[in-house]
Structure 1
């Protein structure tokens, strides 16, 4: 059985993480504007998340990054609401329980850092992600929260921590 390891991002992971996120977005046919694809943060995820109450976690398999997810304060609701961000997995990481493990890691980090709720934005056709979010206790919202800049993401969900 292979050993998958979830750990916090390191500076040397930046290039692999950006590659994972962009390749998954392209695979899923996600628009390159109004989504994570064009975020400047993608090229230096370590520095982006190396701040108080923020973290980006990666899934590593034999030295290769096969997925990741971040947690950060939601702009406009920083005190009480965190946002699950840039959670993407290569095909080889899917349907193996990695998403649920990553979700737990991120939600525990949010709770430990004093957040009361967790917010997510996604795209309507990201069925696997939406199923995972529902299983984890996220509920749909009628409109977005905060100012993420991801105007093409039209599914908004929230969960109490």
Structure 2
């Protein structure tokens, strides 16, 4: 298993992983990443933004996980942790933790804080975020296209 930068050739597999993951928890609906307009071309999306990156876990030429960071345009020096997914067949092996560490290490070099949005049904996800020192917010920091998300977190990086 290798954690590496997202490449153009990964776009299709990554989009499928995200859609399958969301559908498995009944979040294949508007207001989630399932309908993101850039989902089919995520490598291009992350290449165009300053200090944005997306990493994937490559296992035998199959994308089994990923996570990204991108700047929040509305708030200076704050990034958003985005699209953390691990294939259900590989969960429980600490892969989300490895992705979190890669993303937060990179984020700390360029940002003062990290924001994320998630959903109450994703219990394992928000427990992971809390373990990594994210504090739950009472409301979102920004207006987002992900209106179905109902939990928001923030972590100071400096």
What TM-score, normalized by structure 1, do the two folds share? 0.94
Aligned to 1:124: 120
Q: What are the ranges of 5 or more consecutive residues in structure 1 without an aligned counterpart?
A: none
Show CA shifts across 1:101-156 (max 9, x none): 1001111111122x001111000110010111011111100110123211110100
What is the SS of the residue equivalent to 1:20? Answer: helix
Aligned equivalent of 1:94, options 91, 94, 98: 91
* Residue in 2 that maps onto 1:76: 74
- Pick aligned residue for 1:111 from 105, 108, 113: 108
| Number of aligned residue pairs | 156
Which residue pairs with 1:140 in the alignment? Answer: 136
Which of 18, 23, 26 matches 1:21?
18
**Aligned: 1:44 with 2:41:** yes
Listed one character per residue, the Cα deviations across residues 44-82 of structure 1 (whole Å, up to 9, x for unaligned) are 0100000321011101111100011110011311x2110
Runs of 4+ in 1 over 6 A off after TM superposition: none
**Inter-partner Cα distance in structure 2 for 1:43 and 1:145:** 26
Gaps of 5+ in 2: none
Q: How far off is 1:31 after superposition?
A: 4.2
TM-score by length of 2: 0.95
